[in-house]
Each structure stands twice: as C-alpha cells, then as structure tokens.
C-alpha cells in the first residue's frame, strides 16, 4: 500500500519534468550539449577548455540563464549530476 502511494506521489513530478522538457526544447538541447561535452572530453581537454574564453553562443546562453531563474534552475537540475561527477573525476572539485 505504501509503495502504491509513493508511486502516485511521483507521477505529478514526472509529468511536470516531461512537460518542462517539451515546452523548452532549446533548454533540452543546450543541457544535452553541455552533458555531451563533459562526458565526451578527457580531463586534459576540460582543463584546456576552462582556460579558453567563452564563445559568443555560450555568453548569450549564460546571459539568458542569468535573466530567467526558473530556466536556470531547470538547466542546472539537468546537468548537475553528470557535470559534477566528471569534474570530480578530473580533480576540478574537492
């Protein structure tokens, strides 16, 4: 009985997550691009990229996310685990 209640409690959260990605395909694409960058790069490549200036496209995306806290939270929620794990493996996080 408790498992069934837990499952029903998760359904709205899963639906909201699905609707959010359907409503913001550009956010989904940007998040996937960041995740692929971190998962597909070696630690050495990530350290080199960190030293490089951001592209105009990256600067525009950061500007947009700074101006929209809700989208920023959604973006960070999507990329946090894969990016943080890779940064930890590469010694970029304590």
Q: For 71-83, how does the pLDDT look when each residue is reduced to its tens digit (9 = 90+)?
A: 999 999 999 999 9
Say which range, 11-20, 45-54, 62-71, has the weakest mean pLDDT: 11-20
CA 76 – CA 85 distance, rounded (Å)? 14
pLDDT at 11 over 70: no
Token readout for 70 is: 């809700």
* Alpha-carbon torsion, ordered 39, 85, 63, 58, to 10 deg: -20
Selected residue with higher pLDDT from 64 and 94: 64
For residue 22, the model assigns a pLDDT of: 54
Which residues have CB under 8 Å from 62's CB, separation 6+?
54
> What's the mean pLDDT in 86-94?
92
% of residues, the chain, pLDDT over 70: 77
């Amino acid at each position: 009985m408790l498992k069934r209640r837990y499952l029903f409690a998760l359904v709205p959260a899963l639906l909201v997550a699905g609707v959010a990605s359907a409503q913001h395909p550009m956010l989904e694409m940007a998040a996937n691009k960041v995740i692929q960058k971190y998962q597909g790069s070696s630690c050495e490549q990530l350290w080199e990229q960190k030293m490089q200036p951001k592209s105009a496209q990256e600067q525009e995306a950061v500007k947009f996310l700074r101006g929209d806290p809700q989208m920023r939270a959604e973006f960070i929620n999507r990329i946090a685990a894969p990016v943080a794990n890779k940064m930890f493996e590469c010694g970029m996080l304590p």
